[in-house]
Amino acid sequence: MAKSEQQKQKKLAKQKAKEQRKKKELARQQQMMASMAGKMRAAATGTIKDCMISGNLLMQNPTTPAIGHVMLSRIAPGSQIATAFFLVDLGCMGVKDVAGNYRTLTEYSDVITDMQSRQMLQPCEPEFARGVVEAAIAYAESCGLQPHPDYSKYAPLWHNIEPASVGDAISFGMDGKPTYIAGPYDDMGRQTQIYNRMLNTLGEGNFEFAMATSGAQNFDDFELDEEIELDEESSIVRLDSAE
């Protein structure tokens, strides 16, 4: 085979190999974007757009366990906005729920405008936001409780954000004790499971627990203005107290 023909074949082989690598990378990206965890990983190195926190989480010595939201957003592939909302319960549950998705810039702007008009969230540093979330998780773990199982899907959005020490900026539990107050839709099975875990970890008399008798709570995407309150018709059973 002539030298020029050999060079031509080598060039064609290199082009074919390059095309195959591109196809594999495209397939990898498509597979990644098929799951929420993959979407958040894909956006993990994007520029941070906004970070906000509910003022409820910053109240000192609250009369009821503090619960509120932490939001982080980044620029995602395709010029979309990747957003994660963490429902944080400082009473004992840590990250009680989590939601988020990709949004167009227009959709995202509408959501932020709506939230700000109702003064639901206030801007904060990403390092502080992560510090609050991780401190809440650590407190929950000390009570025998784990963060919501979907937390790991959204956690990649914290990439390269070092958690700041929150110090005395937030208050855990109520009156010095871990405190659980059931939401109106927490079913009895879930409440019983939480109670048993806290009892086994903390011991009788070392936590507060108010059990409701109705429903199961769903944290729907971006429906973040609803406070976690007990239904007026729910009956509350005090299972453990400070006495």
Supply the pLDDT for residue 231.
33
DSSP codes joined into one string, 110-141:
HHHHHHHHTT-EEE--HHHHHHHHHHHHHHHH
Quote the percentage of the chain above a pLDDT of 70. 76
Ranges 11-15, 120-124, 200-204: which has the least confidence: 11-15
User: CB within 8 A of 106, min separation 6: which ones?
Assistant: none
Q: Which helix (H) or strand (E) holds 41?
A: helix 36-43
- Residue spans of the domains in the chain: they are 45-240
Write the pLDDT tens digit of every residue in 68-102: 999 999 999 888 999 999 999 999 999 999 999 99
> Is the pLDDT assigned to residue 24 strictly greater than 80?
no
What the block records as the tokens of 120 is 């639901």
Tokens, residue 63: 């009369």
Report residue 2 as tokens. 């002539």
The answer to whether 86 and 133 are in contact (CB under 8 A) is yes
Q: Which residue has the higher pLDDT, 163 or 21?
A: 163
At 217 the pLDDT is 41
Q: Which pLDDT score is estimated for 92?
A: 96
Q: What is the H or E stretch that residue 12 is in? A: helix 3-32
* pLDDT for 111: 86
Q: What does the pLDDT average to over 35-52?
A: 93
Spatial contact of 57 and 64, defined as CB atoms under 8 Å apart: no
pLDDT digits (tens, 9 = 90+) for 167-207: 889 999 998 899 999 877 788 898 999 999 999 999 999 99
Note the pLDDT of residue 103: 94
pTM here? 0.76
**Residue given tokens 């507060």 in the structure block:** 208
Which percentage of the chain shows pLDDT scores above 90? 55
**pLDDT for residue 35:** 86
